[in-house]
Amino acid sequence: MALPRASGILLHPTSLPGPWGIGELGPQAAAFVRDLAAMRQKYWQVLPLGPTGYGDSPYQSFSSFAGNPLLISFDALLADGLLTRAELEKFPVLPEDRVDFGAVIPARYAVLRAVTAAFAQRASAALQDEFRRFCARHAGWLDDYALFMALKAAHGGGSWTGWPAAYARRDPAALAAARERWRTEIDDVRILQFLFDRQWQALRQLARQQGIQVIGDAPIFVAQDSADVWANRELFYLDEAGRPTAVAGVPPDYFSATGQLWGNPLYRWDAHAATGYAWWLARLRRTLELVDLVRLDHFRGFEAYWEVPAGEPTAIHGRWVQGPGAPFLAALRDALGGLPLIAEDLGLITDAVHRLRDEFALPGMRILQFSFGHLGREPQQLPEAFPENCAVYSGTHDNDTTCGWFHAAPGASDTRAGDAVLAERAYILKYLHKRKATDIHWAFIRLAFQNQARLAIVPLQDVLGLGSEARMNTPGIPGGNWQWRLGRGALTRALKNRLALLTVATGRASHA
């Protein structure tokens, strides 16, 4: 896929400002889309949009198909007559500089339950017809997901492997009885999915009008405690109780000396192949209903993935296992009529991974923060060696912010010795022709935008020049992530103008 020369901003919707504890798909999201256009950007990159599970991570979702109800805009519900001001009067005062998930989840779901309870009475006839059409169109994933969430709620939120065996093993008679018993709860889940989809599609329509495309994110693996695994046990390596016999991760790398033990169940790729990769095709078709391009997370796992025996405390004792490779990507290409994908090819990448990526002409990724640790001894890693067919990032959601990374105390954010960190800083400043680290974030943004890579993406935190306090995620740390939010008024007119001028000057400006 040939990318245009363009640029964009990485910002997950949960980070948008607003009064209701978490970013929403309402007025603030619309304002950000207009800000992107004002900054002459072409792309808005988001993280996975699904309902979050363990650790509030968008990469540990209850479904690869569903949307996150926490993003549903209260303002839009008020405008549609589905919510009353009175139902918001007791909403708690929550911090606006971060997402307090422990407080925001129960507070928002209390409001959303009031919306679903009154939906039949408050929704217009046209809206109810739209809801019924949505349910019929998406029954292939929605029916299982709604039942899964209703059963999960009925069993105290516990993982499906701890449910009564008849439910865990999907006994047809038991599931039929469950659909009758929890009919209201199942309908509530459907209503929230409809409202999420309706609001997101309205936001995407505005983005199209403003010349903005959305880059989404598809994690290669899915959460064990998800409707994906519960409804498709035959597609994963599981024991009789539904527990994984081996789990996903990556070996020791830049982020962790013991690797990353993700814990996701592994795919039975032979079973996927026997269906013509039907589940993956359905998943990507649904994702492409929500976004324009898809960042295919952990692309190297499609060539070979790191298998860790279940029960291991770290990812050290794993092994590489052959992935689905070219037949899988060819099946996707033929069924989808192309591959609107960006390959996240970071980490321990082999020649075989490069060949697989290049065989399908997929743009890869390059991270400026990773370019300088060799102090010039590996010139192929420097920005001038990046290929045109790639997306260059100052950093990603897994990195510290550029300011935080550059100014961190030696050893604070990685395993390098202090002298190595200081030498790297000196080398970077020399490379950038800077005597001091003033505005180091803008130097990195400029480096990304001037690069020959067709696509340049920067996290909004870098545009704002924020430090480590604004980091979105620290891999390997289970708590305290995904909380950062944009402050009201922080994206000033001066910053927007500065980025717009740079975008035009580097030939990346949107023509909208």
Rounded CA separation 381/318 (Å):
28
Q: Which two tokens stand for residue 278?
A: 């039907």
Rg (CA), the chain: 23
Give the structural domain span for 128.
18-40+54-213+487-505
Query: Which DSSP category does 403 fall into?
Result: H
Q: Residues, the chain, total? A: 512
Number of compact structural domains in the chain: 1
Burial class of residue 353 in the structure, from the number of CB atoms within 10 Å of its CB (0-12 exposed, 13-18 middle, 19+ buried): buried
Residue 286: CB atoms within 10 Å: 18
Task: Give the whole-angstrom CA distance, residue 213 versus residue 216.
Answer: 10
- Kindly state whether residue 357 falls inside one of the protein's structural domains: no
161 domain-assigned: yes
Residue 239 designated active-site: no
Query: CA 36, CA 212: separation in Å to the nearest integer?
Result: 8
Structure token digits, residue 67: 């949307």
What pLDDT, on a 0 to 100 scale, did the predictor assign at position 502?
A: 98
Give the type of residue at 206.
Answer: L
Q: Which two tokens stand for residue 23?
A: 């970013």
Q: Which one of the listed residues 24, 87, 225, 398 is annotated catalytic?
A: 398
**pLDDT computed for residue 512 by the predictor:** 47
Distance CA 206, CA 289 (A): 15
320, with CB counted inside 10 A (0-12, 13-18, 19+), is: middle
User: What gap in Å lies between CA 342 and CA 292, rounded to an integer?
Assistant: 11
CA atoms of 98 and 22, how far apart (whole Å): 8
CA–CA–CA angle 445, 446, 448 (5° rounding): 65
Q: In 450-471, which positions are buried (b, 16+ CB within 10 angstroms) versus exposed (e)?
A: bbebbbbbbbbbbbbbbbbebb
| Residue 44 DSSP SS3 | strand
Amino acid letter for position 231: A
Amino acid at 440: I
Output the pLDDT for position 168.
97
Residue 252: per-residue pLDDT: 84
| 420 lies in some domain | no
Name which of 362, 493, 383, 354 is nearest 448 in CA terms.
383
CA distance 175 to 258: 42
> Which residue, among 495, 508, 511, 384, has the nearest Cα to 457 in the 3D structure?
508
Position 240, amino acid: E
**Token code pair at residue 17:** 């400002």
Sheet holding 304-309, edge to edge: 260-265, 246-250, 304-309, 319-322
Long-range contacts of 379-383 (CB under 8 A, 24+ apart): 382/431, 383/447, 383/451
Tokens of 464: 């704002």
Q: What are phi and psi of 236, to 5 degrees?
A: -130, 155
Task: Count CB atoms within 10 A of the CB of residue 381.
Answer: 15
Q: What is the DSSP letter of 371?
A: S
Q: Is residue 144 part of a domain?
A: yes
Q: What is the pLDDT of residue 415?
A: 52
- Domain annotation covers residue 137: yes
The single residue of 297, 345, 400, 462 carrying the catalytic annotation is 297
Q: Is residue 113 part of a domain?
A: yes
Q: Are 402 and 477 in contact (CB under 8 A)?
A: no
What is the distance between the alpha carbons of residues 392 and 387, in angstroms, rounded to a whole number?
10
Return the sign of the alpha-carbon dihedral for residues 12, 17, 20, 21: positive
What residue type is assigned to position 204 of the chain?
Answer: R
Could you read off the pLDDT tens digit of each residue along the chain, which spans 512 residues? Answer: 678 999 999 999 999 999 999 999 999 999 999 999 999 999 999 999 999 988 899 999 999 999 999 999 999 999 999 999 999 999 999 999 999 999 999 999 999 999 999 999 999 999 999 999 999 999 999 999 999 999 999 999 999 999 999 999 999 999 999 999 999 999 999 999 999 999 999 999 999 999 999 999 999 999 999 999 999 999 999 999 999 999 999 998 766 788 889 999 999 999 999 999 999 999 999 999 999 999 999 999 999 999 999 999 999 999 999 999 999 999 999 999 999 999 999 887 999 999 999 999 999 999 999 998 766 667 778 999 999 999 999 999 999 999 999 998 665 555 556 778 888 899 999 999 998 999 999 999 999 999 999 999 999 999 999 999 999 999 878 789 999 999 999 999 999 999 999 999 999 996 64
In a domain, 5, yes or no: no
Distance, CA of 11 to CA of 30 (rounded, Å)? 13
User: Is residue 369 a contact partner of residue 405, using CB atoms and an 8 Å limit?
Assistant: yes
Give the CATH number for residue 101. Answer: 3.20.20.80
User: Is 217 one of the annotated active-site residues of the chain?
Assistant: no
Instruction: Identify the helix (H) or strand (E) that includes residue 447.
Output: helix 440-450
Per annotation, catalytic residue among 144, 197, 303, 344: 344
Is position 170 within any domain? Answer: yes
Q: How far is CA 411 from CA 112, 239, 417, 480, in A?
A: 44, 41, 6, 20
